[in-house]
Amino acid sequence: MTISVDIHLPRDRFVLDAKFAIEQSGVTALFGPSGAGKSSIVHAIAGLVHPRRGTISLGSRTVLDTARGVDVPSEKRRVGCVFQDSRLFPHLSVETNLLFGWRRSERRIGEKAIAAILDMLGIEQLKDRRTGTLSGGERQRVAIGRALLASPEVLLMDEPMASLDIGRREEILPYLERLRDERKLPILYVSHAIDEVARLADEIVVINDGRVTGQGAVFDLLPKIDPKSGAVISAKVVRHLPDGLTELAFGGGELFVQRLASAPGDVLRVRIAAADVMLSLRVPDAISANNVIVAQIKRLTERAGDLVDAELSAGSVTLFARVTRASAKRLALLPEMQVFAVIKAVTVDAAIAS
């Protein structure tokens, strides 16, 4: 399904002039600083705010066209919404909250499909409880379930984890990964948290001061947005070694990480932070690091704090290393120079399923 947005909407601090199109299912992150206009975009798609002019299309359906006087009511747009504060009805049970969207849907799913959604989100056992007794993570999972039971064609998630502490975020992230991988539903995910975007998104639309300033695949765009976050790459599990390591294959060779629960053949999303990559001019020996990748320097960029970012080409993928200016000078680093990128296994975030 193609989602197309071209809207003009005056806000308090700026005018939102956003134009972009999403051509695929999966998670598209609307990423940018707080107050950039991300939430206003999803509220416009949901029909909760009304742009002064513009168009919004969801697949073959035009839900907004101000020139033609088209503005489909929010309840008719077939979008599911999950907000930061969950917005559950506190006086009702979890089950009644879940069935609220289902009862209002024009295309009610059957009991088997309902059971599959509750199982995916791990909320079947919560049905008889009052929402006031739920943890923050449980409330958000129920809110996601309520949105899915309405049979949406698009799911809009507006900072769904912004109010959760780190523990609750880690609790809910695996469920969001299952949602992404199993439902194959177009999801617009608003966030200003780079780690959430790296873990969940397939594509990024960057919003700054009400305008789209970039769009692309997470593997390509994320390092350009925030070089210190490093590289996000796709890797396949090759085998598990008897010494507690797992071998992964990626476009630049092999990676060895702490043993994973994933099976051989599984494809994972791996994040390698720039600060966790060291550079050497020759093959290092007698070191504890398990990963040494042959690479070529593509670009050197000086940063504040006497730091230098080295953009590296390793086979078909791009890696990043952040070193001090003194180290770059001592090694006489230059573009097109061959180097060896040294990566510790423990710094590879291979728990990110793709």
Is 205 a residue whose pLDDT tops 70?
A: yes
If pLDDT is split at 50, 70 and 90, which confidence band does 64 have? very high
pLDDT at position 184: 83
324 forms beta bridges with 307
Mean per-residue pLDDT of the chain? 90
Do 3 and 21 form a contact (C-beta atoms < 8 A)?
yes
Is 55 a residue whose pLDDT tops 90?
A: yes
For residue range 189-198, what is the model confidence (pLDDT) as tens digits?
999 888 888 8
| DSSP at 93 | B
For residue range 154-169, what is the model confidence (pLDDT) as tens digits?
999 999 988 888 888 8
Query: Token digits for 166?
Result: 């780190």
Do 239 and 247 form a contact (C-beta atoms < 8 A)?
yes
Residues 6+ apart with CB under 8 A from 113: none
Q: Which CATH superfamily is domain 3-225 in?
A: P-loop containing nucleotide triphosphate hydrolases (3.40.50.300)
Give the other-Cβ count within 10 Å of 60's Cβ.
7
Sequential DSSP letters for 5-66? EEEEEE-SSSEEEEEEEE-SSSEEEEE-STTSSHHHHHHHHHTSS--SEEEEEETTEEEEEG
Answer with the residue of higher pLDDT: 326 or 275. Answer: 326
From residue 339, how far is each of 76, 116, 236, 299 by CA, in Å? Answer: 57, 50, 24, 13
For residue range 227-273, what is the model confidence (pLDDT) as tens digits?
777 888 889 999 999 989 999 999 999 999 988 888 899 888 888 88
Sequential DSSP letters for 204-254? EEEEETTEEEEEEEHHHHHHHH-GGG-EEEEEEEEEE-TTSEEEEEETTEE
pLDDT at position 353: 45
pLDDT at position 229: 76
Do 308 and 325 form a contact (C-beta atoms < 8 A)?
yes
Residues 6+ apart with CB under 8 A from 30: 38, 41, 42, 188, 189, 190, 191, 205, 207
Q: Quote the CA–CA distance of 182 and 179 in Å, as a whole number.
A: 5
Question: Quick check: helix, strand or coil at residue 330?
Answer: helix
Average pLDDT over every residue of 273-296: 92
pLDDT at position 348: 62
pLDDT at position 85: 84
For residue range 32-50, what is the model confidence (pLDDT) as tens digits?
988 899 999 999 999 999 9
Do 234 and 219 form a contact (C-beta atoms < 8 A)?
yes
Is 175 a residue whose pLDDT tops 50?
A: yes
Q: Quote the CA–CA distance of 208 and 206 in Å, as a whole number.
A: 7
pLDDT at position 351: 46
Q: Where is average pLDDT lowest: 81-85, 248-252, 326-330?
A: 81-85
Q: Where are the alpha helices (DSSP H) in 47-157?
A: 94-104, 111-121, 136-149
Q: Where is average pLDDT lowest: 6-10, 169-173, 214-218?
A: 169-173
Do 190 and 157 form a contact (C-beta atoms < 8 A)?
yes
pLDDT at position 230: 81
Query: Token digits for 189?
Result: 């995910």
Domain borders along the chain are 3-225, 229-353
Question: For the chain, how are helix, strand and coil distributed in percent, rounded to 5?
Answer: 30, 40, 30
Q: Quote the CA–CA distance of 50 and 65 in Å, as a whole number.
A: 11
pLDDT at position 101: 78
Answer with the residue of higher pLDDT: 221 or 13. Answer: 221
Query: Token digits for 256?
Result: 């060895």
* Residue 263, burial from CB neighbour count under 10 angstroms (0-12, 13-18, 19+): exposed
Task: Specify the pTM.
Answer: 0.83
For residue range 99-151, what is the model confidence (pLDDT) as tens digits?
887 887 778 888 888 999 999 999 999 988 988 888 888 999 999 999 999 99
Give the other-Cβ count within 10 Å of 67's Cβ.
8
Q: Which CATH architecture has domain 229-353?
A: Beta Barrel (2.40)
Q: Quote the CA–CA distance of 300 and 309 in Å, as a whole number.
A: 6
Task: Of 249, 188, 229, give the one whose Cα is nearest residue 24.
Answer: 188
pLDDT at position 354: 45
pLDDT at position 350: 47
pLDDT at position 349: 53
Q: Determine if residue 66 is left, alpha or beta; phi over 0 gives left, psi from -120 to 50 gives alpha, anything else beta.
A: alpha
- Percent of the chain scoring above 70 in pLDDT: 97
